[in-house]
Amino acid sequence: MSIHVQNIAKRFGHFVALDNVTLDFPTGELVGLLGPSGCGKTTLLRIIAGLESADSGQVFLEGEDASAAHVRERQVGFVFQHYALFRHMTVFDNVAFGLRVKPRGQRPAADKIRQRVSELLDLVQLNALANRYPTQLSGGQRQRIALARALAVEPRVLLLDEPFGALDAKVRKELRRWLRTLHDALHITSIFVTHDQEEALEVSDRVAVMNQGRVEQIGTPAQVYEHPATPFVYSFLGAVNLFHGRVQGPHLQVGADQVRLDHHGFETGAETLGFVRPHELDIVTDLSERSGIEARVERVLALGATARVELTSVGHDQTGRFFEVELSHERMAALRLDTGQRVRLQPARIRLFAPEAPPVELTA
Amino acid sequence: MGVWTARRVLPGFPLALGYTLIYLSLIVLIPISAVFLKAATQGWESFWAAISTPRVVASYQLTYGVSLLAAAINVVFGLILAWVLVRYHFPGRRIVDALVDLPFALPTAVAGIALTAIYAGNGWLGQWLQPLGIKVAFTPLGILVALIFIGLPFVVRTVQPVLEDLETELEETAASLGADRWQTFYRVVLPPVLPALLTGFALAFARAVGEYGSVIFIAGNVPMVSEITPLLIITKLEQFDYPGATAIAAVMLVTSFILLFLINGLQAWANRSHPGGTA
């Protein structure tokens, strides 16, 4: 079922949680709502579920205005970060809850309920734990039970609020792969909220990046990662190096140094912010090279698939700025860098934004 | 071997147990045994005579009946009060919260006099109830009002922390799964709160059984109608009938112990049937 939210606004006192948000969630897609804490993503999810009411704007479920409908009537499955399992009920009773509270006419017979719960427990691979209590389960198991419970009532939409937020790194990875497989099997329209960009990019069909109550960009993971629409999206979706500079024809002048630019829409003399991902920077040790920004090597970390180099700027007007470069081990071996060495940084790709955009925070 | 000699990680078991037994003996067991010893100084016939006169039996019925009723009423309204204090934020919430403890702090005689003044035939509330044929002061109904008053904080204060631990997300989940308010209450909210509610009930009941100060002012103390057992004990003491007073006291002690023991059993059962409830 498709979801459409139209001009949703919500304030908490003076804090604007949602500022005129309009978004489309097409049928059968798994959409990630991504943003830093306080950006309004959870509030939006709760408004779609009917757990919170918007100050203005509407929620359409399958084209129908559901803004006034109670959460009971919206047929949404909601999964909380901290599972919200009923602690006094067994796993079985938790999953059966939604079926047992149905009005007498619609309530399935006891053996039908047993069969349905058993199917769901098979789906989340926890049938062996049907008689356990939630406190006897691990975090990952609890979240799978919470999901099975939400699916029991055959919701038209599945809403997940930071579903893996309380789990440790390994279980998180496992569960998100599992969620993706589950979604491919069920094709139920789903929205999940996360502040973890890796999680959003890996699991979602599409990602909506939110900041300060607004949607900054919506697109496929590849689109938002490769072509960020705003400086915020750029810096939120991964590590980034920032260069303040002035456009000089086909060059960007950064302090005393300059780097080559590809075609760009800026006029000569325009102040801009250049964004470069760590893997898009190369290091040259020959300081007589005309192109490239001079920097000092501070630390070399040769762990994992790629090697990382941390540097600081040395230009007189940018002293102390921090850069991060990702190189292959082969390139690293060829360069033979020493701590304290002066080098030049050459971006293979640089993305320019006008500086009037609000200053962005670098979030790892 | 066993409990006494096994090495344990938590230190101080013999000391702690010794302290517990001595303290409990000095404060509770020895005074209570004195009651039984004193009561036993008389013969069986006189003991039986002291505890089985119609007037005394009527007072047992009144004391235990009204105490149970008051505790039951407090369970219902105390739960609602605790619920409102935990779930809603409204101006003056802290003041209401502080008011709940007032029956604890107020000398019970003051409470009794205040209630009597209000509910007497010419009091603020009494004058409106009187024409409707409802007499509160100087009747068992007045005793009920006084016992509800003094028992209220017990239920509120035992239930409140448990409700605070109960995430609103549980109720939201229940609603999203299609449960209505009533189903959410008795399937999701009530089971985890039940043990605390029973504790509150037991405390309010125990307090009501032993209450003296507030009741004697409002009860009117009519023999066979509105005379509570603690008053009978005092009356006998004033007549220097110590064996008679201790005989009735012994009956009260045994009865109260049995009832509290039963309530504790009920509580253990509530805990066992919901093992996740306190985790």
- What does the pLDDT look like over A193-248, one tens digit per residue? 999 998 999 999 999 999 999 999 999 999 999 889 888 999 898 888 888 888 88
The pLDDT value recorded for residue B127 is 87
Asked whether the beta carbons of A147 and A164 are under 8 A apart, the reply is no
Q: Do B275 and A51 count as a contact with CB atoms less than 8 A apart?
A: no
How far B21 CA lies from chain A's nearest CA (Å)?
Answer: 35
How far B175 CA lies from chain A's nearest CA (Å)?
Answer: 5
- Element containing residue B37 per DSSP (H, E): helix B30-40
Task: Give chain B positions within 8 Å (CB) of A89.
Answer: 276
Q: Given CB atoms, is B169 within the 8 Å cutoff of chain A?
A: yes
- The CA-CA-CA angle for residues B183, B189, B193, to 5°, reads 140
How far B214 CA lies from chain A's nearest CA (Å)?
Answer: 40
User: What is the token pair recorded at B45?
Assistant: 């016939």
- Residue percentage of chain A with pLDDT more than 70: 96
Residue A119: pLDDT band with limits 50, 70, 90:
very high
pLDDT at B22 over 70: yes
- Determine the residue of chain B that is closest to A76 in CA distance: B176
The pLDDT value recorded for residue B6 is 62
pLDDT at A115 over 90: yes
- How far apart, in whole angstroms, are the C-alpha atoms of residue B19 and residue B27? 12
The pLDDT value recorded for residue B40 is 86
Task: Give chain A positions within 8 Å (CB) of B183.
Answer: 101
The pLDDT value recorded for residue B278 is 40
Chain B segment 22-61 residues within 8 A of A by beta carbon are none
pLDDT at B160 over 90: yes
pLDDT at A272 over 70: yes
Q: Given CB atoms, is A77 within the 8 Å cutoff of chain B?
A: yes
User: What is the token pair recorded at A207?
Assistant: 């990602």
Q: Do B169 and A49 count as a contact with CB atoms less than 8 A apart?
A: no
The pLDDT value recorded for residue A363 is 41
Which residues, in sequence order, are CB contacts of A39 under 8 Å at separation 6+? A210, A211, A212, A213
- Average per-residue pLDDT in chain A? 88
How far A110 CA lies from chain B's nearest CA (Å)?
Answer: 17
pLDDT digit string, tens, across residues B63-117: 999 999 999 999 999 999 999 999 998 999 999 999 999 888 889 889 999 999 9
Q: Given CB atoms, is B277 within the 8 Å cutoff of chain A?
A: yes
Asked whether the beta carbons of A23 and A206 are under 8 A apart, the reply is no
- How far apart, in whole angstroms, are the C-alpha atoms of residue A360 and residue B187? 48
State mean pLDDT over B25-31.
91
The pLDDT value recorded for residue B4 is 58
- How far apart, in whole angstroms, are the C-alpha atoms of residue A37 and residue A211? 9
Q: In this structure, is the dihedral angle defined by the CA atoms of residues B86, B90, B94 and B100, taken in order, positive or negative?
A: negative
Interface test with B, best of A53, A85, A101 (most B CBs within 10 A): A101
pTM of the model: 0.81
Q: Which range among A171-185, A250-264, A282-296, B55-69 shows the weakest confidence by mean pLDDT?
A: A250-264
Task: Give chain B positions within 8 Å (CB) of A160.
Answer: none
The pLDDT value recorded for residue A318 is 54
How far A304 CA lies from chain B's nearest CA (Å)?
Answer: 41
Interface test with B, best of A88, A92, A132, A158 (most B CBs within 10 A): A88
- How far apart, in whole angstroms, are the C-alpha atoms of residue B208 and residue B146? 9
Chain A segment 278-297 residues within 8 A of B by beta carbon are none
pLDDT at B7 over 70: no
| A238 DSSP assignment | S
- Element containing residue A343 per DSSP (H, E): strand A342-347
With CA atoms as reference, report the closest residue to A51 among B192, B170, B164, B88: B170
How far A48 CA lies from chain B's nearest CA (Å)?
Answer: 12
Which residues, in sequence order, are CB contacts of A60 under 8 Å at separation 6+? A2, A3, A4, A5, A6, A66
| Rg of chain A taking only CA atoms, in angstroms | 25
Asked whether the beta carbons of A231 and A360 are under 8 A apart, the reply is yes
State mean pLDDT over A312-320.
69
Q: Is A270 left (phi over 0), alpha (psi -120 to 50) or beta?
A: beta
Q: Which range among A178-182, B129-133, B184-188 shows the weakest confidence by mean pLDDT?
A: B129-133
Asked whether the beta carbons of B248 and B143 are under 8 A apart, the reply is no
Asked whether the beta carbons of B193 and B165 are under 8 A apart, the reply is no
How far A72 CA lies from chain B's nearest CA (Å)?
Answer: 5
Q: Given CB atoms, is A9 within the 8 Å cutoff of chain B?
A: no
Q: Do B174 and A97 count as a contact with CB atoms less than 8 A apart?
A: yes
Interface test with A, best of B167, B171, B172, B173 (most A CBs within 10 A): B173
Residue A315: pLDDT band with limits 50, 70, 90:
low
pLDDT at A364 over 60: no
Q: In this structure, is the dihedral angle defined by the CA atoms of residues B163, B164, B169 and B175, taken in order, positive or negative?
A: positive
pLDDT at B277 over 80: no
- How far apart, in whole angstroms, are the C-alpha atoms of residue A124 and residue A151? 10
How far A97 CA lies from chain B's nearest CA (Å)?
Answer: 8
Q: Do B178 and A84 count as a contact with CB atoms less than 8 A apart?
A: no
User: What is the token pair recorded at B273?
Assistant: 């049937």
| Rg of chain B taking only CA atoms, in angstroms | 23
Q: CA-CA distances (angstroms) from residue A264 to A197, A233, A249, A267, A292?
A: 28, 19, 10, 9, 18
Tell me which amino acid residue B241 is: D
Task: Give chain B positions within 8 Å (CB) of A71.
Answer: 172, 175-176
Q: CA-CA distances (angstroms) from residue A199 to A135, A179, B103, B177?
A: 27, 11, 55, 27
List residues bridging with A275 in a β-sheet. Answer: A242, A351
3-state class of A79 per DSSP? Answer: strand
Task: Give chain A positions within 8 Å (CB) of B170.
Answer: 84, 86
- How far apart, in whole angstroms, are the C-alpha atoms of residue B17 and residue B25? 12
Q: Do B275 and A133 count as a contact with CB atoms less than 8 A apart?
A: yes
- How far apart, in whole angstroms, are the C-alpha atoms of residue A104 and residue A352? 62
- Residue percentage of chain B with pLDDT more than 90: 56
Strand A281-284: give its sheet, edge to edge.
A281-284, A342-347, A293-301, A307-313, A322-327
Q: How many interchain CB pairs under 8 A, A with B?
A: 74
Q: What percentage of chain A's residues is helix, strand, coil (to nearest 5)?
A: 30, 35, 40
Torsion on CA atoms A196, A197, A202, A206, rounded to nearest 10: 110
Asked whether the beta carbons of A296 and A339 are under 8 A apart, the reply is no
Asked whether the beta carbons of A89 and A135 are under 8 A apart, the reply is no
